[in-house]
Chain A
């Protein structure tokens, strides 16, 4: 087994490994109402844009993608001059996402693909467990560690490779692919 390729598997249903950035980008761009959920560790996760908050701000250029920051992270978006990001506690969000009647942040309808990044491993593991069991949403994890409860997850990879992968995914989304 390669270094880091271990995970806490909860049961028979586990995440597909995203084979390359193009697939991840297509999973997101083909959704009608994608939601990017950015967690509290995002300022500590370095990317080619700076950190994950910077990357999320870049993603927001694609107007189809709604961005929500959990914990108190939205303050960081505001400090960087971005007021468009929504804010919600991660498990309150999980509960809403598992409610088919929830109309989303803009009241226009529920989301059909939810992308996670920047979380403590176990918190994302748990909220994706809730969504795996109690929703039909497509969930995609962009963490450096494999997240077994997502529907799709990046596999573990060295930091430079991960930065490169995330950059390619965001570039594809910017290109509208």
Chain B
């Protein structure tokens, strides 16, 4: 649609103005309008364009800061003590400093996805051509909802996505600049900028995933995408094992292609960890998914890999040290993570392979994805041969090793979850390895216990070895990431979601920094699947959902369908597939409600916020990328619940249900400002327990637009979960029941008694055509 960098060259041009020789004209961009929809009010918004929208949200959900550090050490004035109401030498206050750190985290996250997208874009345009059609999903016209909404462009080819990414990159630079000493000083403006980073992040996510879907043959929104294998036990260690770690699938694609082209797939195991694994399985379901990020260190330490291939994001920064311990080379494939290795991109493959096999070089940096396959496969096969029978790490007698434990508790202090490692060691001293094995499912695999241990005990490997019998049998099916939600699915569910009859959409996304193991994510998923919510998932969470079986040996992917409908379990794919989840919410506003999409951010976000009962859940959120993904949800008005460790993002966005003035909206029908109750009550909430999270998810699915039937359905889930886990009815029902018809029929007597005690009056809480935007009022009375 848009032609960029057009050059016109005239040897000689005659005109009424005269004759020009050797004339060259360069035009940055020609708009070729094929999109009938008129341009909306905010094409490619700058840092402050959506500030007033952000402030509407932040006025309801005021930040509660919990400083991680009371000092600022970002410039040479400091360190400055900001405790309480003190100010830094530049004048910055503690709230501003905390929100500045939140902004920086979101910028890092957005930049990481944008850089990922840029690598995809450059490489895939070079390989497939910029005119390759952008086919995102079957039965779908709205191929790129975020790009359309934010940038106001309708991409038709993969080359068209470049303009969107240019915009994202430019804006991230502006945002990082705002965090410099002596720039922004207001905490709410910092928060608004963090929201901006989040919005940019979702554009970048969409670009990155659409690029690979359009060119690499990944599933195109297929609800019946194939099942792949996941788990420690899926890898046959007898074969050469290539272990791919990270998020950028391009090097892994070349490895798979090389294996296919040379008919070696049966002879070599290629497995992935973290999101690269998702995308490998989307590319070829024969590749194996070892597991989420929490498995990275434990799997390397097992000695199973014969070659470690790292691309980008969430890779162990000490991977060279870990590889050295098991005697295998590392192939780094991204400029973002060179690991101190020599750049061998332009060397002949054979030379690189020989150096890696011989051990002359502990690893190599090869940044051209199409050179990785040959080097990786040949190296892994030769290294496997060299390692022979001594490949797997065997610590020998665990009892003897455990006897060196000094019971100093340093491991427990270092463990993010305060796991009873010392008690397990004490039991192991007596030959009881059960407690060690029990730690396996709870361990997030960070390795801090080993780092802290004064006796240098190989704690992680001891845990793995103690649970070996269980691990070798761990094989689970997982439906590979399907990518986007089809337009036709949106048409089917738009009405029941908006009117509340489908009680909500729960998106289980993010990392594996869980407080008590990945089984919690599966438990949340199952709870809401049984309740006929739509459950969407991605990344490590999607893997952990697979890793729990019921008594009949089935996991949730085997029990629930993959379509975007009530009771559907929808694995969209990797981290960069998260854009499809928020994209589905945008498409509900556009396709079902016919709201204009093009560069119309505020109206669409206002629609989603007031009508679409979607809740993001990142139970193990760990990274800056998770922060920026959450920020993209906040700006769209989608609340996010995180697990206990998510509190370390150091600020929550919490509503105050007692402040009636905070919960007023315009009725678009008559312009009146009316009270609608605290729905959704919070925008960013860290739950202390799994049970608290479940109740909060059900509660946050309520929206002002719910019909009485829809509100009754949502209330019944909220009440049921509350009674189950809190042992009583919620004490805030009077804030969510608007009229008698909202009350779930089966609980009517009980609820009406509570409402009477609270002095509840029918219709004091209004049911308007809700909007936060004055300009959306259609008629004023």
Contact = CB atoms under 8 A, between A and B. Distances in A.
A40 B727 contact: no
B10 interface: no
Contacts, number: 119
A129 B726 contact: no
B81 interface: yes
A86 to B, nearest CB: 9
Contact of A40 (B656, B682, B689): B689
Interface stretch (A27-35, A58-66, A72-80, A109-117): A72-80
Given A121-B418, A130-B67, A92 B654 contact: yes
A141 interface: no
A19 interface: no
Contacts of A16: none
Residue from B64, B647, B682, B686 having most chain A Cβ neighbours under 10 A? B64
Contacts of A87: 726
Interface residues of A, number: 40
B671 interface: no
B647 A133 contact: no
Contacts of B691: 71-72, 75
Contact of A133 (B83, B408, B409, B687): B83
Interface string B60-85: 00101111111100000000011110
A92 B655 CA distance: 8
B739 to A, nearest CB: 27
Interface in A106-151: 119-123, 126-127, 129-130, 132-134
B650 interface: yes
A57 B64 CA distance: 30
B65 A134 contact: yes
A91 B725 contact: no
Contact of A89 (B70, B94, B416, B692): B692
Interface string B523-549: 000000000000000000000000000
B688 interface: yes
Contacts of A74: 726-728
B687 A10 contact: no
B685 interface: yes
Given A75-B726, A78-B727, A10 B67 contact: yes
A10 B70 contact: yes
B695 interface: yes
Interface string B74-113: 0000000111100000000010000000000000000000
Given A4-B409, A10-B67, A11-B70, A122 B645 contact: yes
A12 B650 contact: no
Contacts of B259: none
A173 interface: no
A39 interface: yes
Contact of A129 (B67, B71, B413, B727): B67
A70 B687 CA distance: 9
B648 A122 contact: yes
B413 A75 contact: no
Contacts of A75: 691, 725-728
Nearest to A126: B66
A78 B687 CA distance: 20
A82 to B, nearest CB: 10
Interface in B351-398: none
B768 interface: no
Given A74-B726, A75-B726, A133 B418 contact: no
B644 interface: yes
Given A6-B413, A10-B69, A71-B688, A91 B64 contact: yes
Given A11-B83, A72-B692, A79-B727, A133 B413 contact: no
B483 interface: no
A56 interface: no
B70 A133 contact: yes
B65 A133 contact: yes
B726 A120 contact: no
A73 B645 CA distance: 18
Contacts of B648: 122, 126
Residue from A3, A40, A72 having most chain B Cβ neighbours under 10 A? A72
Contacts of B94: 133-134
A123 B688 contact: yes
A168 B416 CA distance: 31
A113 B774 CA distance: 44
Interface string B649-690: 010101010000000000000000000000000100111110
B515 interface: yes
A90 B83 CA distance: 22
A98 B650 CA distance: 15
Contact of B83 (A73, A96, A121, A132): A132
Contacts of A70: 688
10 contacts: A13-B84, A39-B688, A74-B726, A74-B728, A78-B727, A95-B652, A119-B688, A120-B515, A120-B644, A123-B686
Given A74-B726, A75-B727, 10 more contacts: A10-B70, A11-B70, A12-B83, A40-B692, A92-B654, A95-B64, A120-B515, A122-B648, A126-B68, A129-B70
Q: Which 10 A-B pairs have the closest CB atoms?
A: A11-B70, A78-B727, A71-B688, A75-B727, A71-B689, A72-B691, A95-B64, A130-B66, A126-B66, A72-B725
